Chains A and B, each alone.
Chain A
Amino acid sequence: MAAMQRYSIFSLLRGALSGHRDWEPAWRAPEPKPSYDVVIVGGGGHGLATAYYLARNHGIANVAVLERGWIGGGNTGRNTTIVRSNYLLPENQRFYEHSLKLWEGLSRDLNYNVMFSPRGVINVFHTDAQRDYWLRRHNGMRYAGIDAELLTRADLARLVPALNLSPDIRHPIIGGVMQPRGGVARHDAVAWGYARAADALGVDIIQDCEVTGIDVEGGRVTRLQTSRGPIGAGRVGLAVAGHSSRLAEMAGVRLPIETHLLTATVSEPVKPFIDTVVSIAATHAYVSQTDKGEVLIGGSLDGYNSWSQRGSPARLEDILASASEYFPRVSRLRQLRHWAGVMDMSMDGSPIIAKLPVEGLAMTGGWCYGGFKATPASGWCLAWTLANDAPHTLNAPFSLERFRTGAVLDENGAGPVAWGH
Chain B
Amino acid sequence: MLLIPCPFCGARDETEFAYGGDAGVERPTDPEAATDEAWTDYLCFHDNPKGPHRELWFHRDGCRRWLEVERDTWTHELGAVRLSRP
Contact = CB atoms under 8 A, between A and B. Distances in A.
Interface of A: 245-246, 254-259, 303-308, 310, 312-314, 347, 403-404, 416-419
Contacts of B19: 303-304, 419
8 nearest A-B pairs in the assembled complex, by CB-CB distance: A256-B44, A347-B44, A304-B19, A245-B48, A416-B43, A307-B50, A403-B44, A404-B40
Query: What does DSSP make chain B's interface, helix, strand, loop or mixed?
Result: mixed
Nearest to A310: B76
Contact of B37 (A254, A313, A404, A418): A404
A51 to B, nearest CB: 26
Interface in B1-44: 1-2, 13-15, 19, 21-22, 36-37, 40, 43-44
B46 interface: yes
Nearest to A257: B48
Nearest to A306: B73
Interface string B41-73: 001111010100101000000000000000101
Given A245-B48, A256-B45, A308 B73 contact: yes
Query: What does DSSP make chain A's interface, helix, strand, loop or mixed?
Result: loop
Interface of B: 1-2, 13-15, 19, 21-22, 36-37, 40, 43-46, 48, 50, 53, 55, 71, 73-76
Contacts of A306: 73-74, 76
B43 to A, nearest CB: 4
Nearest to A345: B48
Contacts of A308: 73-76
A313 B1 contact: yes
Contacts of A310: 76
Nearest to B40: A404
